[in-house]
């Protein structure tokens, strides 16, 4: 595979010199007419031609000048009125698009899509906007994917409330997590970090499948998740306040204050509080169905925009306390006299980043990214005490330039990562000081709008993993006007944190047995994706099919398929792979009524004690069906989604029934929500898990027994949950 990628890279260089030719460009800057917001992702295309471009993060598109002028140029963007301008000469142009509005004289047919797959990006990238996040009870990042077919979110255990995402059938630790392009949710925050990002703070989420770009960091094997927060330059609300509550006593509230000081400088203050004070035990097993929680988030960011300098600066603080565990004795164990099994997890966290971009000319720019975090966790799981701290710094310098013209772009740079992580579980201790200098280069070739080829390599020296070389290739081919083919391949690596990444096993009678101390995980990921857009009955639709495979050459294996009551942690000895197939169909059935239907197959297998087995608690099949309807007057929105979850292999349960013989049942989850729009407010009410399906006994045994286990969670612990809330905003 490595030799194949090298051949592809060399062929790409030969290919670009064979087809490159000098062409003159003009720059098109596109903004929102009402608030002057820069529009990223707007399309620019010459009439009766396939030649065009898409605006970058600064709202700028650079398009080839045709052989003859004048010509008509079409500018379009979802949610805005399409505009056509008559270009007489090759000169830079500024365009302000009018947002979609209801007019008596003119019927505007353009619709703003709440989620879409980028037609230009060589990576398979889906962007979820604010409208998509409002389709469900979305209070934080972990609840943002109910209507997404690519990403799964599931509980890590039955008691702590910890959640993890899964992409291509593998855990979120293999995903490159980014906050506006800066690596975050690394190390100790990987376990509970999804709950620490409030949804009302987010402007969008971008999900890229397959090995990511080499530019951001060495981490990331199955894809990338990039979260963009609201700022003074991408959000026009001066004041935002919301409140959420459900029948289980969960309460969340957010306050956002936005102040644009002048055309170049703005600041935003964000505050969040999340509380779960009510004790719930609906299945009467003596354990809390959800932890009692208090969480506080505070963030302040500053943005600076000028013609030559772009700056983004942010600091965020978090305080969280979770209490979970037993509240009463189980009815079947009245004679148990041991103390109640309690869990407490207290977290303090401070993090921030500074991003500055310098634009020297249309062809040359320099960017710097600096970030730091201090994370402290103090916790106990029954009699086990787990304490951990992390102090991290990351730095990244990128330089971007073009060769001859915009068809050939090179981005190169250096980065530096420092992680000081201390973990202690009773007498088991790990103290690490990881220093990782690295360098990368990425070449992008464009042939009109037909082909985009990105080849990149990076080299990193990790104090634990040694030197790692990571080649990556992404290619996009426009086979026809509405047909896009993408292929990708490359390698990535990461260094595990054995204890913090397995906290879901702490509330168990299993003994953690570290047979080998893992130093690194290395994998190759490659895939292919085909997207077809179409118009049927004058309505928009799309059909996409993609397949990705991940092959591990080195991996940390956590083996819980043992009847001896042990968790064996070791390096991989044998095969480990993931095959992921996704078929997704989107269509506007009626005006305002959107349908999404998807089927996903994920075959994930790892070698445990010499036997290649299906990964435990991983569904082989999953289906998703979602309907969303917004009334013609834009005042009401109705959303319904259901997911069908296939069987999951359950690991050995200590009782001698053998690994690989126990499976969870197939089940379906149904959610619905109604949203009412007002001029400066929104009201919503909904219900999750309408079918009231829940795992009857998610906790095996009791803390006093040798087969106590809270790890084997395959479905919701809570039953049907009614919720409601409001949002108030001032523009």
User: Residues 484-533: pLDDT tens digits?
Assistant: 999 999 999 999 999 999 999 999 888 889 999 888 999 999 999 999 99
Residue 720 CA to residue 691 CA, distance in Å, equals: 7
Q: Does residue 278 contact residue 288 with C-beta atoms inside 8 Å?
A: no
Of 64, 89, 88, 86, nearest in space to 75 by CA: 86
Given a cut of 60, whether residue 104 has pLDDT beyond it is no
Name the 3-class secondary structure at 14: helix
Per-residue 3-state assignment (H helix, E strand, C coil) for 483-503 = EEEEEEEEEEEECCCCCHHHH
Q: State what percent of residues in the chain have pLDDT above 90.
A: 59
- Residue 326's φ and ψ, nearest 5 degrees, are -80, 145
Residue 209 CA to residue 223 CA, distance in Å, equals: 4
Which pLDDT tens digit goes with each residue over 618-649? 999 999 999 999 999 989 999 999 999 999 99
Residue 105 CA to residue 675 CA, distance in Å, equals: 29
Sort residue 79 into left (φ over 0), alpha (ψ -120 to 50) or beta.
left
Of 58, 41, 217, 222, nearest in space to 118 by CA: 41
Of 688, 687, 699, nearest in space to 288 by CA: 699
CATH class of the structural domain 115-730: mainly beta
Contacts (Cβ under 8 Å, ≥6 apart) of 339 = none
Which pLDDT does position 456 carry in this prediction? 95
Which pLDDT does position 138 carry in this prediction? 83
- Residue 205's φ and ψ, nearest 5 degrees, are -130, 130
> Residue 475, Cα to own-chain centre: how many angstroms?
22
Q: Does residue 543 contact residue 534 with C-beta atoms inside 8 Å?
A: yes
Residue 222 CA to residue 244 CA, distance in Å, equals: 33
Q: Does residue 87 contact residue 74 with C-beta atoms inside 8 Å?
A: no
Q: Does residue 725 contact residue 524 with C-beta atoms inside 8 Å?
A: no
% helix / strand / coil in the chain, to the nearest 5?
5, 60, 35
Name the 3-class secondary structure at 720: coil
Q: Does residue 690 contact residue 639 with C-beta atoms inside 8 Å?
A: no
Which strand (E) or helix (H) includes residue 133? helix 130-133
DSSP per-residue codes, 69-130: S-EEEEEE-TTB--EEEEE-SS--EEEEEPBP---SS--------SEEE-SS-SSEEEEEEH
Of 479, 586, 478, nearest in space to 150 by CA: 586
Name the 3-class secondary structure at 364: coil
- Residue 340's φ and ψ, nearest 5 degrees, are -60, 140
Sort residue 265 into left (φ over 0), alpha (ψ -120 to 50) or beta.
beta
Which pLDDT tens digit goes with each residue over 185-234? 888 988 888 999 999 999 999 999 999 999 988 989 999 999 999 999 88
Which pLDDT does position 89 carry in this prediction? 78
Name the 3-class secondary structure at 15: helix
Residue 598 CA to residue 603 CA, distance in Å, equals: 17
* Residue 226, CB-side half-sphere exposure with 13 Å CA sphere: 16
Q: Does residue 541 contact residue 493 with C-beta atoms inside 8 Å?
A: no
For residue 696, how many other CB atoms are within 10 A of its CB? 8
Given a cut of 80, whether residue 370 has pLDDT beyond it is yes
Quote the mean pLDDT of the chain.
87
What is the Cα Rg of the chain in Å?
Answer: 26
Residue 170 CA to residue 153 CA, distance in Å, equals: 11
Lateral strand order in the sheet of 202-209: 115-117, 124-129, 202-209, 223-229, 175-179, 182-183
Sort residue 8 into left (φ over 0), alpha (ψ -120 to 50) or beta.
alpha
CA quadruple 197, 200, 201, 203: dihedral sign: positive
Name the 3-class secondary structure at 220: coil
- Tell me the two tokens of residue 194: 């999804």
Which pLDDT does position 561 carry in this prediction? 85
CA quadruple 207, 210, 215, 216: dihedral sign: positive
Max Cα–Cα distance, the chain, nearest Å: 91
Which pLDDT tens digit goes with each residue over 673-713? 999 999 999 999 999 999 999 998 888 888 888 888 888 89
pTM for this predicted structure: 0.84
Which pLDDT does position 267 carry in this prediction? 96
Which pLDDT tens digit goes with each residue over 255-290? 999 999 998 999 999 999 999 999 988 888 889 989
Which pLDDT tens digit goes with each residue over 15-45? 443 334 445 778 888 887 766 677 877 888 8
Which pLDDT does position 112 carry in this prediction? 60
Residue 191 CA to residue 164 CA, distance in Å, equals: 7
Q: Does residue 346 contact residue 377 with C-beta atoms inside 8 Å?
A: yes
**How would you label 69-107 residue by residue, b for 16+ Cβ within 10 Å and e otherwise?**
eebebebbbebbbebeeebeeeeebebebebbeeeeeee
Beta bridge partners of 229: 202
Which pLDDT does position 330 carry in this prediction? 58
For residue 5, how many other CB atoms are within 10 A of its CB? 19
Name the 3-class secondary structure at 141: helix
Residue 258 CA to residue 249 CA, distance in Å, equals: 30
Q: What mean pLDDT do residues 652-674 have?
A: 78
DSSP symbol at 18: H
CA distances to 161, 342, 345, 701 from 328, rounded to whole Å, are 19, 11, 20, 14
Compute the CA torsion angle 499, 500, 506, 511 (nearest 10 deg). Answer: -10
Residue 621 CA to residue 666 CA, distance in Å, equals: 10
Ordered by start, the domain boundaries in the chain are 25-97, 115-730
Residue 124 CA to residue 207 CA, distance in Å, equals: 8
Q: What mean pLDDT do residues 313-337 have?
A: 81
CATH class of the structural domain 25-97: mainly beta
Residue 398 CA to residue 414 CA, distance in Å, equals: 7
* Length of the chain measured in residues: 731
Sort residue 505 into left (φ over 0), alpha (ψ -120 to 50) or beta.
alpha
Which pLDDT does position 74 carry in this prediction? 83
Of 96, 7, 8, 4, nearest in space to 445 by CA: 8
- Residue 672's φ and ψ, nearest 5 degrees, are -150, 150
Which pLDDT tens digit goes with each residue over 551-596? 999 999 999 887 778 899 999 999 999 999 999 999 999 989 999 9
């Amino acid at each position: 595979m490595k030799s194949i990628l090298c051949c592809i890279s060399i062929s790409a260089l030969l290919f670009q010199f064979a087809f490159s030719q000098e062409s003159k460009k003009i720059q098109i800057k596109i903004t929102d007419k009402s608030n002057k917001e820069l529009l990223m992702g707007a399309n620019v295309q010459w009439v009766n031609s396939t030649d065009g471009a898409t605006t970058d993060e600064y709202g700028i598109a650079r398009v080839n000048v045709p052989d003859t002028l004048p010509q008509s140029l079409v500018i379009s963007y979802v949610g805005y009125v399409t505009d056509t301008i008559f270009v007489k000469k090759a000169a830079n142009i500024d365009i302000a698009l009018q947002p979609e509005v209801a007019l008596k004289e003119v019927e505007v047919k353009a619709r703003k899509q709440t989620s879409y797959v980028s037609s230009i990006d060589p990576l398979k990238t889906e962007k979820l906007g604010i409208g998509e996040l409002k389709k469900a009870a979305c209070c934080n990042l972990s609840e943002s994917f109910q209507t997404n077919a690519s990403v799964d979110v599931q509980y890590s255990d039955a008691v702590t409330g910890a959640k993890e995402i899964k992409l291509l059938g593998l855990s979120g630790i293999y995903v490159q997590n980014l906050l506006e392009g800066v690596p975050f949710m690394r190390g100790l925050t990987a376990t509970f970090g999804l709950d620490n990002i409030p949804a009302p703070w987010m402007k969008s989420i971008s999900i890229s499948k397959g090995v990511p770009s080499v530019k951001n960091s060495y981490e990331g094997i199955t894809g990338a998740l990039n979260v963009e927060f609201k700022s003074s330059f991408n959000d026009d609300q001066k004041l935002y306040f919301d409140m959420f509550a459900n029948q289980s006593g969960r309460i969340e509230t957010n306050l956002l204050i936005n102040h644009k000081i002048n055309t170049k400088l703005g600041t935003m203050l964000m505050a969040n509080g999340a509380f779960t004070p009510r004790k719930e035990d609906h299945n009467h097993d003596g354990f809390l169905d959800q932890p009692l929680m208090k969480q506080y988030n505070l963030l302040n960011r500053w943005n600076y925009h000028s013609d030559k300098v772009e700056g983004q600066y942010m600091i965020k603080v978090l305080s969280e306390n979770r209490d979970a565990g037993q509240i009463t004795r189980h009815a079947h164990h009245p004679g148990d006299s041991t103390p109640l099994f309690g869990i407490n997890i207290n977290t303090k966290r401070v993090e921030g980043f500074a991003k500055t971009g310098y634009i020297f000319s249309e062809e040359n720019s320099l960017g710097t990214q600096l970030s730091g975090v201090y994370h402290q966790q103090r916790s106990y799981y029954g009699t086990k005490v787990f304490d951990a701290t992390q102090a991290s710094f990351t730095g990244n310098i990128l330089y971007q330039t073009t060769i001859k013209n915009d068809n050939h772009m090179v981005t190169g740079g250096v980065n530096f990562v420092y992680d000081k992580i201390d973990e202690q579980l009773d007498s088991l201790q790990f103290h690490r000081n990881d220093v990782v200098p690295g360098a990368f280069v990425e070449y992008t070739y464009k042939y009109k709008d037909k082909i985009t080829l990105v080849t990149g390599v990076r080299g990193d020296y990790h104090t634990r993993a040694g030197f790692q070389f990571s080649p990556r290739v992404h290619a996009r081919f426009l086979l026809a006007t509405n047909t896009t083919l993408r292929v990708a391949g490359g390698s990535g690596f990461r260094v595990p944190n054995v204890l913090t990444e397995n906290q879901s096993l702490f509330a168990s009678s299993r003994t953690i047995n570290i047979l080998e101390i893992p130093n690194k995980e290395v994998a190759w990921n490659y895939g292919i994706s085909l997207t077809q857009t179409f118009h049927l009955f004058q309505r928009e639709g799309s059909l996409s099919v993609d397949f990705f495979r991940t092959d591990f050459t080195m991996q940390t294996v956590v083996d819980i398929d043992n009847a001896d009551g042990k968790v064996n942690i070791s390096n991989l000895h044998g095969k480990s792979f993931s095959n992921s197939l996704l078929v997704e169909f989107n269509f506007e059935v009626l005006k305002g009524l959107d349908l999404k239907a998807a089927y996903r197959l994920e075959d994930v297998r790892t070698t445990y004690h010499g036997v290649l087995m299906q990964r435990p608690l991983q569904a082989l099949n999953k289906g998703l069906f979602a309907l969303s309807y917004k009334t013609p007057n834009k005042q009401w929105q109705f959303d319904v989604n259901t997911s069908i979850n296939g069987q999951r292999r359950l690991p050995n349960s200590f009782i001698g029934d053998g690994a690989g013989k126990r499976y969870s049942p197939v089940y379906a989850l149904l959610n619905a929500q109604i949203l009412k729009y007002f001029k400066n407010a929104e009201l919503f009410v909904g219900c999750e898990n309408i079918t009231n399906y829940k795992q009857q006994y998610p906790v095996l045994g009791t803390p006093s027994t040798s087969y106590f286990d809270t790890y084997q969670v395959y479905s919701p612990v809570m039953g049907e949950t009614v919720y409601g809330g409001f949002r108030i905003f001032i523009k």
